[in-house]
């Protein structure tokens, strides 16, 4: 009974190993970003060879070693020995690739392992050639090759040379793999380095388990050598069948342990697929694969061990597959529901249309609850920041921070944003001391380029972010910035329109009142006087009355808002701006300094007329604000500086040495004009940035990227 249970355990373990290795091999191949590279094929091929070995092992053990025919023996030993020779070498190559052997020509790992790699590769080639030669010599029944057969059985101190060489080859491959994992080479990407550090314990444990297996195989071979010269292998096997079963099961169990460790490293950190980040779905499928392998190995192994009819095994397998598929579908549905529940704060309506149509001033759209829900419920981040960059920054406002009690202040993100030159740069490792505890920076893109940065701190629990989580963070961050900018633009334009409507109504009522109450009675009185008066009698009163009417009409026209259209298209943006400043506003300053780059003068003529007029109005508003409110009254010279350059687009800097924007806003101005022009600049794809220090200066930078000038 004990031997039957042991036989059952061997079959179950062998099937377990075969299924998991097959799943891992196919998964690495299909889920790789760079499946065309040699390294990916080596990793996947090694795993598939391991699966083939254990399928052959299952067949040999299931049929029984002593019951195999001559052709069956040759076939199954070929199927088993080819993976047995290649697998140690494949493991070594995979560990070298994982450790960054090919990342740097002058790395310490490469200098340390280069000669060993050549030596082991040569040994693997000799082993395959020897296996092929041995099979041919076994098949060819010719007395002329007996000397060659004797040479291949040559031994030193009673130990066959091939056996000793294979044992040393296996130990050397696993030992060198362990050295590469413990002391890896450089990594090309920060995320790769982090994943390597997290996966290293799993791979070290797997390598140690395989090293123990290699020592056990070598010890078993040495034990067999002591008796094989007196009797055949089959006689030794029949006498020690239980010992062979225990050794087989123990070795297979150690390999199972190594496979689980390797699979955990693959699915948790994607060390062999070329992905920057792991995927949470892959880890879930890995657990399902383990469950399937255990159930299938135990049930099918039991049918083989108990020698049940094939029909029963087929029926049990059908039931198992059906149950597994049903459970897999159920778990997928549960996972989908969980994702929808987590994403509900981001996909529900913000009621923006209703807010814009309210009678009062539309409130600002608050995206902070959605941002906090993303960080807490989906990303499980300790710290996070969402900052807008570029044209949308004035509309979105200051960066959002998580959690609520996070009082860290971010430094300027211009340098960090410059490192993301294309959407291919997905993540960047940053210094948490500088960026308020954040360790990862994610770029947020739109059709107009980089629109923001999503900064993430460590994950709660110390885990690593999954690929799905990073993609959700990026997509949601882009949507939040876009929604906030669009809502703020609509709110500002709606407020402006309501202000203009109210102003128009007031002017219209005032016009009606003046015409009805003042002008029409005066005109009627003048007409009566003209009709009743004699020639040259009462003319002075009539002239006085008409003069008053003329004055009232003039005052009314003067009070009405006027719209002037500067000739930007004819004069050019910079020339029109200079003429406006010199003719209308120069008297408000003691000194006006212009610095205009000749390249900018030439390039601005390529800007579309509508965009140029938008920039003109924004610049004029800045200069008008400085002229009206900037002088501090201390008697110091009040200077204005206008600097126009072309740096991959127009950059217009307007600076004064007045009281500062904060003082202007608090005492005199509302700031609505600059907010409006900031919105209009965002509409045309530009930016309006304000930097002010109270009592020192106000600096406004208007930029228009080169992409928006055509």
Residue 592 · residue 579 · CB < 8 Å:
no
The single residue listed with the structure tokens 């099961």 is 249
**pLDDT digits 0-9 by tens, 266-321:** 877 666 665 555 566 677 888 889 999 999 999 988 888 888 888 888 888 888 88
| Rounded Cα gap, residues 428 and 455, in angstroms | 10
Is 60 exceeded by the pLDDT of residue 561? Answer: no
pLDDT of residue 253: 94
Mean pLDDT in residue range 172-184: 89
**Who wins on pLDDT, 449 or 400?**
400
CA 659, 664, 668 angle in degrees (round to 5)?
135
Which of 608, 626, 620, 619 shows the shortest CA–CA distance to 668?
Answer: 626
Residue with the bigger pLDDT between 255 and 516: it is: 255
How many Cβ atoms are within 10 Å of 332's Cβ, its own excluded? 14
Per-range mean pLDDT, top range of 7-21, 505-519, 685-699 = 7-21
The conformation of residue 326, written as its DSSP 8-state character, comes to H
| Cα 559 to Cα 503, 510, 522, 627, distances in angstroms | 11, 10, 20, 21
pLDDT at 349: 66
What pLDDT score was predicted for residue 558? 60
Residues in a beta bridge with 684: none
What ranges do the domains of the chain cover? 1-280, 358-488, 497-559, 564-705
Average pLDDT across the chain, whole number: 79
Q: What angle do CA 467, 472, 422 make, to 5 degrees?
A: 75
When pLDDT is averaged across residues 137-143 and rounded to a whole number, the result is: 62
- More reliable by pLDDT, 369 or 526: 369
The predicted model gives 16-29 an average pLDDT of: 91
**Spatial CA neighbour of 427 closest among 195, 643, 235, 609:** 195
Pairwise CA distance, residues 482 & 365, whole Å: 12
Taking the C-alpha atoms of residue 221 and residue 232, their distance in angstroms, rounded to an integer, is 14
pLDDT > 70 fraction of the chain, expressed in percent and rounded: 75
- At 155 the pLDDT is 59
Q: Which residue did the predictor score with more confidence, 417 or 226?
A: 417
As a whole number, mean pLDDT of residues 402-426 equals 84
Domain 1-280, CATH:
1.20.1070
pLDDT band per the 50, 70, 90 thresholds, residue 27 = confident
Structural fold of domain 564-705 = Heat Shock Protein 90 (3.30.565)
1-280 and 564-705: identical CATH topology? no
Residues 6+ apart with CB under 8 A from 637: 590, 591
C-alpha span between 632 and 621 (Å, rounded): 19
Token digits of residue 427: 């993540």
* Residue/partner pairs of 580-585 with CB below 8 Å, 24 or more apart: 580/616, 580/620, 580/623, 581/623, 581/640, 581/642, 585/623, 585/624, 585/627
pTM above 0.75, yes or no: no
Q: Give the highest mean pLDDT range of 90-94, 508-512, 628-632.
A: 90-94
Label residue 563 by pLDDT band (50, 70, 90): very low
Q: From edge to edge, which strands make up the β-sheet containing 438-446?
A: 400-402, 384-388, 449-457, 438-446, 428-429
Out of 189-198, 371-380, 421-430, 465-474, give the one with best mean pLDDT. 371-380
CATH (one of 1.10.3210, 3.40.50, 3.10.110, 3.30.450) for 358-488:
3.30.450
């Amino acid at each position: 009974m004990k031997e039957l249970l042991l036989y059952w355990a061997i079959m179950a373990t062998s099937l377990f190993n075969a299924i998991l290795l097959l799943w891992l091999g196919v998964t690495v191949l299909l889920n790789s970003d760079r499946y065309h590279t040699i390294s990916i094929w080596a990793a996947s091929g090694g795993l598939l060879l391991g699966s083939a070995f254990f399928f052959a092992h299952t067949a040999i053990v299931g049929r029984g070693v002593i019951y195999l025919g001559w052709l069956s023996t040759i076939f199954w030993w070929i199927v088993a020995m080819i993976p047995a020779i290649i697998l140690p070498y494949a493991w070594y190559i995979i560990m070298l690739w994982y450790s960054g052997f090919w990342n740097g020509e002058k790395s310490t790992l490469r200098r340390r392992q280069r000669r060993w790699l050549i030596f082991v590769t040569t040994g693997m080639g000799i082993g395959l050639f020897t296996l092929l030669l041995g099979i041919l010599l076994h098949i060819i029944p010719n007395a002329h090759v007996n000397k060659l057969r004797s040479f291949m059985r040559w031994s030193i101190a009673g130990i066959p040379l091939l056996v000793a060489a294979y044992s040393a080859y296996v130990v050397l491959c696993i030992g060198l793999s362990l050295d590469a994992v413990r002391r890896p080479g450089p990594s090309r990407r920060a995320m790769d380095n982090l994943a390597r550090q997290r996966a290293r314990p799993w791979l070290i444990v797997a390598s140690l388990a395989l090293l123990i297996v290699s020592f056990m195989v070598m010890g078993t071979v040495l034990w067999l050598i002591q008796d094989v010269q007196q009797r055949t292998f089959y006689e030794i096997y029949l006498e020690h069948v239980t010992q062979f079963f225990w050794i087989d099961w123990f070795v297979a169990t150690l390999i199972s342990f190594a496979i689980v460790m390797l699979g955990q490293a693959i699915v948790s950190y994607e060390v062999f697929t070329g992905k920057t980040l792991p995927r949470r779905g892959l880890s879930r499928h890995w657990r399902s694969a383990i469950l399937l392998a255990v159930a299938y190995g135990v049930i099918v192994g039991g049918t083989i061990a108990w020698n049940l009819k094939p029909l029963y095994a087929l029926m049990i397998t059908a039931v198992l597959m059906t149950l597994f598929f049903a459970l897999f579908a159920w778990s997928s549905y549960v996972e989908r529901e969980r994702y929808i529940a987590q994403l509900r704060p981001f996909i529900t309506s913000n009621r923006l249309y209703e807010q814009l149509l309210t009678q009062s001033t539309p409130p600002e759209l608050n995206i902070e609850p959605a941002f906090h829900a993303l960080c807490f419920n989906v990303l499980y981040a300790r710290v996070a920041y969402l900052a807008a960059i570029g044209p949308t920054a004035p509309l979105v406002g200051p960066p959002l921070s998580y959690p609520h009690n996070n009082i860290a202040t971010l430094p300027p993100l211009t340098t960090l944003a410059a490192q993301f030159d294309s959407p291919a740069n997905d993540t960047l490792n940053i210094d948490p001391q500088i960026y308020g505890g954040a360790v990862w920076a994610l770029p947020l893109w739109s059709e107009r380029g980089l629109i923001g940065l999503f900064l993430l701190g460590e994950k709660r629990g110390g885990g690593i972010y999954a690929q799905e989580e990073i993609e959700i963070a990026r997509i949601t961050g882009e949507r939040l910035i876009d929604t906030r900018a669009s809502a703020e633009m609509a709110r500002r334009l709606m407020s402006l329109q309501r202000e203009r409507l109210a102003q128009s109504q007031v002017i219209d009522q005032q016009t009606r009142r003046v015409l009805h109450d003042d002008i029409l009675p005066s005109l009627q009185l003048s007409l009566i006087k003209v009709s009743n008066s004699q020639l040259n009698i009462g003319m002075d009163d009539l002239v006085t009355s008409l003069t008053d009417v003329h004055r009232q009409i003039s005052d009314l026209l003067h009070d009405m808002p006027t719209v002037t259209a500067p000739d930007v298209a004819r004069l050019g943006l910079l020339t029109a701006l200079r003429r406006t400043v010199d003719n209308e506003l120069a008297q408000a300053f003691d000194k006006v300094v212009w610095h205009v780059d000749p390249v900018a003068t030439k390039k601005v003529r390529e800007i579309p007329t509508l965009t140029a007029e938008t920039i003109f109005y924004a610049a004029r508003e800045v200069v008008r604000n400085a002229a009206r409110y900037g002088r501090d009254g201390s008697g110091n010279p009040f200077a204005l500086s206008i600097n126009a350059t072309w740096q991959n687009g127009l950059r217009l800097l307007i600076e004064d040495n007045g009281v500062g924007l904060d003082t202007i806003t608090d005492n005199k101005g509302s700031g609505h004009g600059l907010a409006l022009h900031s919105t209009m600049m965002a509409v045309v794809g530009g930016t309006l940035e304000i930097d002010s220090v109270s009592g020192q200066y106000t600096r406004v930078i208007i930029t228009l990227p080169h992409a928006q000038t055509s």
